[in-house]
Amino acid sequence: MNFPRELVEAVRRHQVVPFVGAGISMGVKRGMFPSWPRLLEGLSERMQEESLPESAIQEVNQRIAQGDFLTAAELAFKDLGAYRFNRFLRERFRVRKPSDADLSVIHALWKLQPPVVMTPNYDDVLLWGREDAEAVSNDQDDELNLMDAEASPETPRVWYLHGTVHRLSTLVLAGADYKRLYGDGTQPTGYSQYTNALVRLREWIRSKPFLYMGFSFSDPYVLKQLEHVIGITRGRQMPSFALMKKGTIDRGALWPKYNIQLVEYEDHGAPLAEFLRGLEAAAFGPKRVSLSMETEALSFGVTPAPPQSMSPPIPGPAPVAPTPEALPIVARPALEQDYTRILQGQHRLVLLSPEDGGTRALARRVAARYGNRVTWLAPPNVPDCTEAEYCRALAGDDAGANTVTSFDALVEHLRAKAARMGREHLIILRYEWGPFDHLTALGRHLRRMMDEPSKVQFHFLIAGGERSAWLLHNMQSFSVFKDAPRREVPDLTVDEVRQFLDSGGHGGARWARELHEATGGHPGLLREVMITDGALDAESITGKLVRGPSLRGAVLECLREDERNGYTGERGCQSVLTKLLDGQRVEDLEPLDHRVEYPEVRLYFAGLVRSDAAGRTVPRCKAVEQVAREVLARKDVRP
């Protein structure tokens, strides 16, 4: 058996956090626990048994057919009421351990000696394999605060991220529950009960490698829900890992966007248990188990070398796997010079692009021109956090960060840091939403830093997508965001795709044009297809993108976001996609000026449409057209 070295080292150091999905529980005994669709179908059947209106039952069934499981659960909860809904869940998940349960995978998992196992499941399966483990839910602030100090391989915890069936009030099942835990753009006041859990979850994902198992990452719905969590792993040095049955999904579907390395096993059940026992032996045992060099060889054109020895790994620092950002990128010196010139002359700039469209890569290259005179600000997307918590998070790991408890203190902290370095100082804001009141105050204080006399000249670079575009048109006048110069990061050209291919040892001259056609020059799609094996012709690449979760998840999320916000008819993305697939013309992007109230703009920032040479809004590539047709065929058409 071969195992990534970084994973083995993380297990040995008791740093790995297993994140266990429903597939593991379902494997304990066939038919004992339902899948997501079967659970919701059972709710629909219960609604029929309770003689609820046929129209309500049809709506739930329709949502299930569309794959919109959260909304289906939300509707069932409203119609059944809390008592009947919770009783149904108790019947499905609160079961005793059967005498014929196969716990081989569970026992093998606990043999990895993790201090904490995290799960979105509601059942007791993990506790069946380790009865002395302590169950912790999101509303138990004291227990969450003590986990880092008290959880250990000898006294482990099971963190029920979505609640436990023994305490039904903790369950996160319906759409409102997910929003309350993970947050969204509206930031309602009801978030406070989960703030501590969210803060700790995000800190763990930032600092610990996760081991995902029992998830169907090929399911775009599941992937989109987990994106609240795994999306913030981008840019970390330490990768996470996903255990998947061989042939389930391409490696490129997870690595470029989520920094999750795919680790394959032969089959579910006994082969998975044997795989975990082999991982245990590689980390702790005397057996001679080989370590895979795949982690070190993820960059393009590199063939993993055979191990020098079959002896057990030597303890010590593990090689660091390349992050998605470390994969070959295209140098775009003309753009970098243009952006630097704007910063030098106007002191601020907003860079906009579709998701994974290259904004952050260009921001890093512009930052390199300032040497060490750079500060990165990442506003925390933590609901209901205080001003002190917000500002401390912005100060990051800087010396004296604990004393930064207000925006005024943050300004002084940034000024002092810049003064120690001298000359010009670049502040880069990586905006990913967050409490709007705090963001308004931050924009106002950064504008004050730019305008007030200072020995150091501050420059502000805001790198983002749809949410940053929204700020440009909705922020108060006295703000670093308001009326700032902006540039749209262009798609890669055919020649730039050729450079990308050549830098990875592939035939740029042979494949650049086909790869550009199949991805529309989108850097994220380019990396997704290039990190997997297979042919590079346009037809093969289109097939990869259609089968993968990235584009399908983007289309589904656009449709669901519009529904949540009440965008219907001409205001909805569904209308625009339908027209494009019918060959009709829709609004051109350039005159819309990145105003996200237009569906064309939202589709642009999702990476699904672009402007062609004539300025017309068109689907990004053939894969988008195919995915959109399949998704819309399952989506009910609403006025």
Q: What is the pLDDT of residue 459?
A: 94
Q: What is the CB neighbour count within 10 angstroms for residue 231? A: 15
What is residue 237's DSSP assignment?
A: S
Q: What is the CB neighbour count within 10 angstroms for residue 302? A: 12
What is residue 96's DSSP assignment?
A: P
Q: What is the pLDDT of residue 576?
A: 96
Q: What is the pLDDT of residue 173?
A: 61
Share of the chain above pLDDT 70, in %: 80
pLDDT at 273 over 50: yes
Q: What is the pLDDT of residue 202?
A: 63
Q: What is the pLDDT of residue 472?
A: 83
Q: Which two tokens stand for residue 123?
A: 């059942």
Q: How confident is the model at residue 382 (pLDDT cuts 50, 70, 90)?
A: low
pLDDT (mean) for 186-204: 55
Q: What is the pLDDT of residue 381?
A: 67
423-456, pLDDT tens digit by residue?
899 999 876 566 788 888 998 999 999 888 888 8
Half-sphere exposure of 54 (CA within 13 A, CB side): 0
pLDDT at 638 over 80: no
| DSSP track, 218-270 | TSHHHHHHHHHHHGGGTT-SS-EEEEEETTSS-GGGTHHHH-EEEEEES-SSH
Q: How confident is the model at residue 139 (pLDDT cuts 50, 70, 90)?
A: confident
For 310-324, 405-419, 431-445, which range has the lowest pLDDT when averaged over its residues?
310-324
pLDDT (mean) for 575-595: 94
Q: What is the pLDDT of residue 445?
A: 93
Helix (H, G, I), strand (E, B) or coil at 322: coil
Does residue 183 or residue 267 have the better pLDDT?
Answer: 267
- Say which residue the tokens 């297979």 belong to: 534
Q: Which two tokens stand for residue 357?
A: 């469209």
Measured in whole angstroms, the distance separating CA 400 from the mean position of its chain's CA atoms is: 30
CB 254, CB 217: distance < 8 Å: yes
Architecture of domain 5-32+100-283: 3-Layer(aba) Sandwich (3.40)
Q: What is the pLDDT of residue 8?
A: 92
Does residue 189 or residue 606 have the better pLDDT?
Answer: 606
CA distances from 112 to 18, 162, 201, 450 (A): 9, 23, 21, 52
Give exposure, 455-491, as e/b (b: 16+ Cβ within 10 Å).
Answer: ebebbbbbbbbbebbbbbeebeeebbbbebebbbbeb
| Cα–Cα dist 182/28, whole Å | 29
Q: What is the pLDDT of residue 292?
A: 46
Helix (H, G, I), strand (E, B) or coil at 305: coil
CB 232, CB 205: distance < 8 Å: yes
pLDDT at 373 over 60: yes
Does residue 180 or residue 258 have the better pLDDT?
Answer: 258
User: Domain limits of the chain?
Assistant: 5-32+100-283, 34-94, 333-488, 494-547, 549-636
Q: How confident is the model at residue 619 (pLDDT cuts 50, 70, 90)?
A: very high
What is residue 186's DSSP assignment?
A: T
| Cα–Cα dist 501/439, whole Å | 40
Cα-Cα end-to-end distance for the chain: 55
CB 284, CB 113: distance < 8 Å: yes
Q: What is the pLDDT of residue 169?
A: 65
Q: How confident is the model at residue 309 (pLDDT cuts 50, 70, 90)?
A: very low
Judge whether 5-32+100-283 and 333-488 match in fold.
Answer: yes
CB 9, CB 313: distance < 8 Å: yes
Query: To the nearest whole number, what is the mean pLDDT of the chain?
Result: 80
What is residue 137's DSSP assignment?
A: E
Q: Name the nearest CA neighbour of 295 among 41, 7, 74.
A: 7
For 94-98, 230-234, 472-476, which range has the lowest pLDDT when averaged over its residues?
230-234
Q: How confident is the model at residue 561 (pLDDT cuts 50, 70, 90)?
A: confident
CA distances from 30 to 22, 26, 34, 123 (A): 12, 6, 9, 15
Q: What is the pLDDT of residue 635?
A: 57
Q: What is the pLDDT of residue 310?
A: 30
Q: What is the pLDDT of residue 369?
A: 92
Q: How confident is the model at residue 325 (pLDDT cuts 50, 70, 90)?
A: very low
Does residue 351 or residue 67 have the better pLDDT?
Answer: 351
Strand-pairing partners, residue 617, are 611
Does residue 253 or residue 310 have the better pLDDT?
Answer: 253
What is the CATH code for 333-488?
A: 3.40.50.300
